[in-house]
Every structure is written in C-alpha cells, then in structure tokens.
A = this chain, B = another copy of it.
Amino acid sequence: MKGELSNLAMDTQDLNKTNRRHCVHASLRQSSRLITSFYADAMHDSVLQGTQFTLLSTIAAMPQCTVSTLSDYLVMDQTTVTRSVKLLEQAGFIQFKKLKDRRKRQLIVTAQGQQALDDAYPLWLAAQEHIWAHLSEDDIKQILTLGNKLAALSKESTIK
C-alpha cells in the first residue's frame, strides 16, 4: 500500500471518486459483519443463530437434502456444512437418515427443529421488514443478485 487509508466504505459524497483503492473485499466483509450483527440482535430471543436459521430452513425446504446438496445450494464448503449440521444434530434440530447409497446422509428436520423454526420465523421476518422499510428496492435487489455476479467472477477468473 502507498500509505493511504484503503477506504473500505465510501461516503455518499464520494460516489464520483470511486477508484481501485477502495477494497471490495474489505467493504463486503464489513457489510457482512454489520448485517450479521443486525440479524443477531433481531433473533436474540431465538435458540437459533442467524446462520443456523438459514441452514435449518433450507434443510426443511430441500427435498432429499444431503451435506453435498446443501453445500452446493448455499455455496458453502462441504466441510463447513459438515460441521454446521453436526451442531444442529447435537442440538436436536435435525437427524441423519441412512440411504441406500451408504455414503450419503439425508438431513431431516426434527419436530424440535421445526418448532425452533416456527418460533424464530417472526423474529426473522421482523428483521426482513425492517430492512425493506429502510433500504431502497434497488439496494435490496443489488444485494440479492450480487452472489450471482460474484460467482461468475470467480469462474472466469484469469488471475490464478
């Protein structure tokens, strides 16, 4: 670096000064920390962490969900999913079911897991409503479509 602050975030006034000194990586991670904190506050009274809510609700909605299909869908490393679902299993929110293909383990939400989801849902929804009330439709669309753009970015990468 050249001795200047890397300006993770930008002020609205700085819009026209966008240049490559602003680190997209640092900025996005900061946003991730902020949104994580926001949802953590909103779901404080739930037994589920924000991330666990995402995992559990996805498992509940995916037919024939396994570690692999889950990690594909959420774009998480398989080993991360293995560890995360282990915590959900230990908490009693899911259980593993053996399949004919004995390498696979189907993930099934238990009654206790469904109850946790039902209890957490209004808290999650309140957080969502708050977001929709305070961010513009454009901002939200941008956030929700960013993943696709970044995935494309990695695929066509000529860097490595």
Residues of A whose CB lies within 8 Å of any CB of B are 1, 3-6, 8-12, 15, 18, 20, 22-39, 41-42, 44, 50-51, 54, 57-58, 60-62, 73-76, 117, 121, 124-132, 134-135, 137, 139-154, 156-160
Chain B residues with CB below 8 A from A41, complex form:
154, 157, 159-160
| Copies of this protein, total | 2
Nearest-CB residue, chain B, relative to A16: B141
Say which residue of B1, B152, B158 sits within 8 Å of A117 (CB atoms). B1
**Whole-angstrom distance between the alpha carbons of A79 and B98 in the complex?**
42
**Whole-angstrom distance between the alpha carbons of A152 and B37 in the complex?**
13
User: Is B5 a contact of A62 with CB atoms below 8 Å?
Assistant: yes
Chain B residues with CB below 8 A from A149, complex form:
135, 139
Chain B residues with CB below 8 A from A144, complex form:
8-10, 18, 22, 24, 27
Q: List 23 A-B contacts (CB under 8 A).
A: A1-B117, A1-B121, A4-B61, A6-B58, A8-B144, A8-B147, A9-B147, A11-B145, A11-B148, A12-B148, A15-B145, A25-B39, A25-B54, A27-B144, A28-B28, A30-B147, A33-B75, A34-B151, A35-B150, A37-B154, A130-B153, A134-B156, A143-B146
Chain B residues with CB below 8 A from A29, complex form:
32, 35-36, 51, 54
User: Is B160 a contact of A42 with CB atoms below 8 Å?
Assistant: yes
